[in-house]
Structure 1
Amino acid sequence: MTSCPAYCYRHARRWTVQLALGIDALHELGIIHRDIKAENILIDVRENVRIADFGLCYLAVDPRPLDRQWACSADVVGTPYIMAPEMLLCNVYDLDAMTYGPPVDWWALGCVLYQLVSPTHMAIFQTQRDTLDYAAWCTSSGGTHRKFPILQNLKGNVGDLICGLLDPSPSWRYGFHEVSSHPLFLNPCGTSEFVDAYACALKRPEVPESMPDLRCDLEKASVWQRLAPGERRHLPDVDWFKPV
């Protein structure tokens, strides 16, 4: 995902719809991504987003829609600063007693949305200790997480949606139903941004000038030649490349 805050803010609403539809589709297939973060979201030539990097996914043995209340894994995997509290607590307490389920992906969406609308483009939590401290504060304050200092600064429908996605309790955290019916996505004509979102994404014009030109400065980024097995090269401004 691009590092330009203004560009991300401008597209945040539409991208959040696309990400929510993608997360819901994964859950319907029995998959929990477990590493939804800005670095794993790609932007295509029509400025639509694609979820990438499925290496840490949970795959249900019997592929079927996952119930949001179903706690099915105790594996602590992913990126610490976007892990939900219930996943981090599996690392703190007895693994046999702590499990988590699909809501961890909705927590991660809240973290991504915060970055999209943040003027500094910074993550809301920098470390897993920040997340656990936030969860502990919410517990000690009677669960009023929306009064947490960082969340208090978020205003309007965007702030309400982020607060709902970052509810420390998986049972009360927003899921697809709450996100898809949220006032943030109501258009002036009364329709929802979720209506025909897939068709609208396909109809968007291509914006090739918004894509990075990897052919520039070939001496530093030789991307047109096949890499030897096991060889990795750092390419400026590129976080992901297609394996050969």
Structure 2
Amino acid sequence: MSTHTNEAPQASFAHGPFRVLRTLGVGGYAKAVAAQDIPSNRMMCIKVSQKHNLKHTALAISKELGVYQRLASAIPCPAAKFLMGLEFSFETKDEICFAMDLMASDLDHLMIYRSSYCYEHASRWTMQIALGINALHDLGIIHRDIKAENILIDIRENARIGDFGLSHLDADARPLNRQGAYATSVMGTLHCMAPDILLNISIPSYMKYGPPVDWWSLGCVVFRLPLFETQQHILSYVNWCTSNGRTHRQYPSFQNLKDNFGDLISGLLDPSPTSRYGFNEVSGHPTFLYPCGTSAFVDAYSCGK
């Protein structure tokens, strides 16, 4: 859900202990508003779901709350700083509300309006998102909707993954097996949806999938071009990757990318989940290697401002 605070319609009224300032964005089952906590003057983002829609939204609300509870109960880890946390939740007569830190912007907004700024931070933000995805997988969570709109940027210019309403939570809350099969539900946003999920659209429950679907989505975020606007675009790309007649490993659109990003994206967008890049391949990729051979991931936590 988008959380940029400029170019938004203004409003000002009391909402319980909050003064709601403006609508930040509207998602599939909730809207986000910027609000000031009246007693402390703290600025927060409040995610508001209407109770009259519970028939359609209860599952997403339950999943998101489940993720926040799991994040809160987990042993503290440095990667948690790259995941949105829930400050508290409350309800009114008509609404269910999640309160969290107000972010400075979201990656989708920045890519549209400040592309050079995004390019400047691309490597660091990619590392932070990768650490966040890996932390989720270690907690038994598959996000299933990694996309630019769900990557929030805080006031210290660090990336955080948010919006967990489509997540899969493994019952055991243990680290997920990289090649494990955990779900068949079609969840996510088409232009960032892995073929492992996509195959279940036409044939329900055709293929079980696991953590690699999030790494495919990361590849879509890093590339940030409308390569996969439709289901047919994804299938055409998969057909190209699996054809025997191609002369290059990299898809033509990736070949001119700088700093080894073409190879990184090719690995993340591998149609086969068994050979698709995961955290080990991303963290050890030449894109993130210093001249001395050490991975920049070693300093990823300290490079957060």
Q: Give TM-score scaled by structure 1 length.
A: 0.75
Render the CA deviation track for 1:167-209: whole Å, top value 9, x for unaligned. 01000100000001111111245432111322331xx2xxxxx
Contact 1:157 1:183 in 2 (8 A): yes
Give the corresponding residue for 2:290. Answer: 187
Q: 1:103 — aligned with what?
A: 212
- Structure 1: gaps spanning 5 or more residues: 116-121, 205-244
Q: Which of the two has greater strand per residue?
A: 2
**1:19 and 2:129 aligned:** yes
Q: How does 1:1-244 map to 2 (within 5 A)?
A: 1=107, 2=110, 3=112, 4-95=114-205, 97-115=206-224, 122-141=225-244, 146-201=249-304, 204=305
Instruction: Summarize the Cα distance change of 1:22–1:142 in structure 2 as closer, same or farther, 3 Å threshold.
Output: farther
**1:93 Cα deviation from its structure 2 partner:** 2.7
Residues matched between the structures, number: 195
Match of 1:198, SS state, is coil
Higher relative contact order (CA 8 A, sep 6+): 1
Change (3 A) 1:55 1:189: same
CA contact (8 A) 2:146 2:217 kept: yes
Contact 1:31/1:59 (CA < 8 Å) preserved in 2?
Answer: yes
Uncovered stretches (5+) of structure 2, i.e. residues with no partner: 1-106
Look up the SS of the partner of 1:42 in the other structure: strand
CA distance in 1, matches of 2:243, 2:189: 26
Shift of 1:146: 2.9
1:36-84 CA distance string (max 9 Å, x none): 0000001111110000100000000111000110011100011001000
Taking the aligned partners of 1:48 and 1:84, their CA distance within structure 2 comes to 26
* Counterpart Cα distance in 2 of 1:106 and 1:161: 11
| Partners of 2:251 and 2:266 within 8 A in 1 | no
Deviation for aligned residue 1:94: 4.7
The residue type equivalent to 1:20 in the other structure is: A
- AA aligned opposite 2:297: F
| TM-fit CA distance, 1:110 | 0.5
Cα distance in 2, alignment partners of residues 63 and 34 from structure 1 = 16
> For the Cα contact (< 8 Å) 2:250–2:263, is it kept in 1?
no
Supply the distance in 2 between the matched residues of 1:50 and 1:94 (Cα, whole angstroms).
Answer: 32
Change in Cα spacing, 1:54 to 1:90, as seen in structure 2 (3 Å) is same
Alignment partners' CA distance in 1, 2:173 and 2:248: 34
Partner Cα separation in structure 1 for residue 245 and residue 211 of structure 2: 24
Question: In 2, distance between residues paired with 1:110 and 1:78?
Answer: 15
Deviates more, 1:99-108 or 1:139-148: 139-148
